Structure 1
Amino acid sequence: MSTSTSTSTVSEEYVSTASRPSDLRITDVRVANLHGVPFRSSIIRIDTNQGLVGYGEVRDQASASYALVLKSRIVGENPCNLDKVFRKIKQFGHHGRQGGGVSGIEMALMDLAGKAYGVPAYALVGGKFRDTVRCYADTPSLLDPHEMGERLLERKRRGFTMLKMDVGISLLWDVPGALIAPAGSRDDVSTMHPFTGIQVTPKGVEHLASYVDTVRSIVGYDVALAADHFGHIAIDSCIRIGRALEPFTLAWIEDLIPWQYTDQWRQLTEAVAVPTCTGEDIYLTENFKPLLDAGAIRVVHPDPATSGGIAETKRLGDYAQEKGIAMALHLAASPIATMACVHLAAATENFLALEHHAADVPFWSDLVTGLPRPLIQDGYITVPDTPGLGFGEINEELFRQQLDPRDPVFFAETTHWDGEFSHDRLWS
């Protein structure tokens, strides 16, 4: 007995016991609401009884309440029990930005578990397939295609090997004879695409094709180019546009119709020789399966800040791969959710590219420490081998400068969420 005690004491002299994963417990959840990174982002901080801190991020422009409502459900839990905690909270997510709370919490759990075990987040979901992650620069469109081409060319000169722009009815509203549209439809953002009554005429289709032709001639054919934001138009107009864009070898055409309409996506995909892409507003793998099982798209495009975080989106990628479908990642976020996506992308074999929406935010890379500056170099992010999400600390000074004026408190206390309770069980 004495020998055993002595051996234990001696061994612990050489072992760090600052983190005992089996004893780790969540003690608090707080949020700092930032703006301009590039949009509003709610950064989640999860505290523990051992001093470890984990960070995640709510989907861009979503309510921080989607995360804070989960506080009382996860305080006291061991964040290393990743699947157990995720199964406990996933019922509180939904499609679109309503998935942002569960997904952001999952990212923070991954950050904590990685730190507790001393491994990068990608190791928690199977290891990595790549050492660098390709990013594509999304760029808001300009009405003049020559100006748009030059704007994209600037991205290309920075080293981005993939670009994305908006091509749709936003370019056509002031073009006579380009659209047939009911009164008031220009400002209608709530009616789903098949029901708006907006039609793109042959002149409108020709205008869009000419726009893309001009942009393509400026950026060249040695860079991938995708197109998004076609507008709330029905499938017939989508098919005509898709066919007109075939000569320009686009990487994909994105979100032409709502993701819920599997049969229409299949019709569109079968009708055009351009890869079709959707998925940024879908929550959980099970809800992607109708599209994937039907072969209704060529590229699946989840936003991990909606789809369920790192592990759930990794499951989605693997399922899509079985169906022969590649996975790109939608994202408009700070470096925190970006690094969560980097680990996910590293661990997913059929990954194509990760969206970057902050090419015009000069301080973006400085929001966290411990990573290369700039974070994106020659269009790629190097996958870090440091624990958790891989960055050092948040830049507290810069965080305070970027706090949303509507909620300018730096990780305010959240005790008013401690008593949140309901009988959550989904069966009797």
Structure 2
Amino acid sequence: MKITRLTTYLVPPRWCFLRIDTDTGVIGWGEPIVEGRAHTVAAAVEELSDYLIGKDPRHIEDLWNVMYRGGFYRGGPVLMSAIAGIDQALWDIKGKDLGQPVHQLLGGPVRDRIRVYSWIGGDRPADTARAAKEAVARGFTAVKMNATEELQYVDTYAKVEQVIENVQAIREAVGPHIGIGLDFHGRVHKPMAKVLMRELEPFKLMFIEEPVLSDHLEALPELASISPAPIALGERLYTRYDFKRVLQIGGVDIIQPDPSHSGGITETRKIAAMAEAYDVALALHCPLGPIALAANLQLDAVCHNAFIQEQSLGIHYNAANDLLDYVKDRSVFAYNEGFVAIPNGPGLGISVNEEYVAERAAVGHRWRNPIWRHEDGSVAEW
């Protein structure tokens, strides 16, 4: 079996899909994407195709190392996301060729379903509380929200009170036993993270995500000592070497690699195993499309320390298209009582609606994240 072609499709709302063809007719799908840099990643996939055309797609570990090590420069969001989508597609091909789901090829499942959470949003506490209640009504047992808008290095207690009002409204709306993840999104600098963490203690949060940017790992032990909840981060880390530093420094309770950014299934499983050795939990990052979610679930099936999965159904980014629009069988992601089942079909376990992908790729997208500024005119973290 030989690889004959790699084709990328930029599809709404902000995704990039990859199809890999082989000379036997077996095809694989992956999702190589950096949100807001989709064209750049697609170009990186095209460049990597020089290493892949004519090669056996079943030699996944070797091809991964060629892509990672063969170009001299390595790591970072663009290269690792391009490798990630290719790796997902190679595993999809291997599973389809053998008639088995990827998780069976990785040693077999340790679970048949995993808990999921729903993103919620809103401009006012009442809006956020309403969104949380609606998510719970749809069967979710956990929700996640952004904690705050832009914050200066040291900001006002009015901003702090706004965060507290939002979280309090959600907790009162959903009761004491629904999980609430609060995402600081790297918008908060260490001085304000310390203030917020102390104020959030009463609300029994499930976790606090990215309390500071991953650039500031040295701050994590100090923040962990005052945090009222487990600390999670990792969506902006891309290799096992990035996560090695996180685990050595300490302070993190949950890692959140994204298998569409962190080198695909091959690399992310190694990251997860390394975290397990440090007794750190896994909550894979995935505000993306159905191919990415399918890849995540194959990993969740085999990673013992996985406890919850992000997914994008109904997320605010998905205005033009939503998670299930690009799959033939919408029931493949079987949501029930706050869990989603692990797909058991061959490969990644989903069938992509290729005609619809081609149709929407003709529309394409140029999604960009917002650019925020502080009141003084300086650029703020988004």
3, 7, 23: which one pairs with 1:49? 23
Q: 1: distance between equivalents of 2:142 and 2:78? A: 26
Contact 2:181 2:205 in 1 (8 A): yes
Contact 1:166 1:229 in 2 (8 A): yes
Q: 1: distance between equivalents of 2:34 and 2:220? A: 26
* Offset of residue 231 of structure 1: 5.3
* Offset of residue 94 of structure 1: 2.9
Matched, 1:67 2:45: yes
184, 203, 209: which one pairs with 1:254? 209
* Offset of residue 363 of structure 1: 5.0
Q: 1: distance between equivalents of 2:273 and 2:333? A: 31
What does residue range 9-158 of structure 1 map to in structure 2 within 5 Å?
Answer: 24-36=1-13, 40-61=14-35, 62=38, 63=40, 64-91=42-69, 94-139=75-120, 141-158=121-138
Matched, 1:200 2:155: yes
Contact 1:263 1:296 in 2 (8 A): no
Residues 407, 291 of structure 1: alpha-carbon distance in 2 compared, 3 angstrom cutoff = closer
Q: Which residue of 1 aligns with 2:139?
A: 159
Matched, 1:303 2:303: no
* Offset of residue 257 of structure 1: 1.4
- Supply the AA of the counterpart residue of 1:75: I
* Offset of residue 375 of structure 1: 4.4
What secondary structure is seen at the aligned counterpart in 1 of 2:24?
coil
Q: 1: distance between equivalents of 2:209 and 2:247? A: 15
Rg larger in structure: 1
What secondary structure is seen at the aligned counterpart in 2 of 1:45?
strand
* Offset of residue 377 of structure 1: 3.7
Per-residue CA shift, 1:167-189, capped at 9, x if unaligned? 1134xxxxxxxx6x5xxxxxxxx
Contact 2:34 2:261 in 1 (8 A): no
Per-residue CA shift, 1:263-298, capped at 9, x if unaligned? 112211122222111100111112101111222211
* Offset of residue 304 of structure 1: 0.9
* Offset of residue 262 of structure 1: 2.0
* Cα RMSD after superposing both structures: 2.1
365, 376, 382: which one pairs with 2:341? 382
- Supply the AA of the counterpart residue of 1:403: A
Q: Which residue of 1 aligns with 2:235?
A: 280
Structure 2 residues without counterparts, runs of 5 or longer: 367-382
Matched, 1:403 2:372: no
Contact 2:114 2:341 in 1 (8 A): yes
* Offset of residue 246 of structure 1: 1.4
Q: Which residue of 2 aligns with 1:327?
A: 282
* Offset of residue 55 of structure 1: 0.4
- TM-score when scaled to structure 1? 0.78
- Supply the AA of the counterpart residue of 1:295: G
* Offset of residue 95 of structure 1: 2.7
Q: 2: distance between equivalents of 1:45 and 1:121? A: 17
* Offset of residue 28 of structure 1: 0.8
Q: 2: distance between equivalents of 1:227 and 1:350? A: 21
Per-residue CA shift, 1:235-254, capped at 9, x if unaligned? 12101101111111111111
* Offset of residue 204 of structure 1: 2.8
Q: 2: distance between equivalents of 1:284 and 1:230? A: 20
Structure 1 residues without counterparts, runs of 5 or longer: 1-23, 171-178, 182-197, 409-428
Alignment: residue pair count: 355
Q: 2: distance between equivalents of 1:299 and 1:133? A: 16
* Offset of residue 25 of structure 1: 1.1
